[in-house]
Amino acid sequence: MQALWLEDRRLSIRNDLSIPVPPAGEALVRVRLAGICGTDLELVRGYYPYAGIPGHEFVGEVADSPDGTLIGCRIVGEINVSCGECEICRRNLPTHCERRTVLGIRDRRGAFAEYLTLPLRNLHRVPDTVPDEAAVFAEPLAAALQIQRQISINAGDRILLIGAGRLGQLIAQTLTLTSCDLCVSARHPRQKTLLLSRGIRLIAEDEIAARHYDIVIEATGSPAGFDLARRGVRPRGTLVLKSTYRDSVNVNLSSLVVDEISLLGSRCGPFDSALRLLEQKAVDPSPLIDAEYSLARAVEAFELAKRPGILKVLIRP
């Protein structure tokens, strides 16, 4: 089996790997298309000590399953594989399982390969009308929707989104489906063009009013982005962290206490809702695609993906 391999912060193509044998309760999935995200790039930079096959955004086809279900069906998959037995799992928080593996991130080989395995319970069937090029966005779109599962967003809420990269674009699209008062801080011309094409209001960094916004979503993963977000949120407002932070961020905790700021971490979300929006064409991720590479050229794909302003780069086995 061919796959992209990450070890010691170096990427290489391997052709000597065996097709994985699914453990009990898991399906064998043939990968049709996979996407590079910010977390993948941070793994290469050493944000987490992972060695193996990276990649967690994918659409695939079930090649084999323990009970014969879903064979031949197109699917996407939730990336956290929980044990179902620890205290956290018993509290119905499987994405925080104490012993979980995470596809392409933690103790589980990922999607930049010809095949992967995941439990049947993690798989979601893709509607026939949703093409692979849209379905591959199911995981980050679900992550974007998680914000609305965690906090109520009401008509007229003043919301500031810092960052309009791969995930930020999807967050912006999902927020436009509410009646909130949204504005987005974006740096790169293409990011701005995509937002304006959907009627989303832009705001320059020097125009962001201090202590003004009810909810501020930080989606850059940078200390500068966090500082800007912290400055914009009003007293008793909510600051949502929606990114992968590689470096430490200096935070004035006293100011968070004095202003009674709610600080909210947010990551994985509802796949069923994401697939429904894709089926309804309420969200259109296709303009975010910058390039597609074969798996044999996956190292080149990563070189492109890490360039400033580049959005989604896809890899097809």
pLDDT of residue 215 exceeding 90, the answer is yes
Give the pLDDT band (50/70/90) at residue 4: very high
Tell me the chain's radius of gyration from C-alpha atoms.
20
Q: Count H helices and E strands in the chain, helices first.
A: 10, 17
Residue 276 one-letter amino acid: R
pLDDT of residue 311 exceeding 90, the answer is yes
The length of the chain is: 317
Q: What is the pLDDT of residue 299?
A: 98
Mean pLDDT of 289-311: 97
Query: Cα torsion at 276, 278, 119, 47 (round to 10°)?
Result: -130
Other beta carbons less than 10 A from residue 195's beta carbon: 23
Cα–Cα dist 197/253, whole Å: 38
Condensed to tens digits (0 to 9), the pLDDT of residues 237-294 reads: 999 999 877 778 888 999 999 999 999 999 999 999 999 999 999 999 999 999 999 9
Other beta carbons less than 10 A from residue 63's beta carbon: 17
Distances, alpha carbon 222 to alpha carbons 17, 85, 197, 235, in Å: 36, 36, 26, 22
pTM of the predicted model as reported, rounded to 2 decimal places? 0.95
Contact residues for 125 (Cβ-Cβ < 8 A; gap 6+) = 70, 73, 74, 75
Cα–Cα dist 132/136, whole Å: 6
Condensed to tens digits (0 to 9), the pLDDT of residues 172-195 reads: 999 999 989 999 999 999 999 999
Please give the backbone phi and psi of residue 120, each rounded to the nearest 5 degrees, phi first. Answer: -55, -35
Query: Cα torsion at 97, 101, 107, 110 (round to 10°)?
Result: -150
Cα–Cα dist 312/101, whole Å: 25
pLDDT of residue 156 exceeding 80, the answer is yes
Cα–Cα dist 301/279, whole Å: 28
Mean pLDDT of 8-31: 97
Which tokens is 277 given?
């929006």
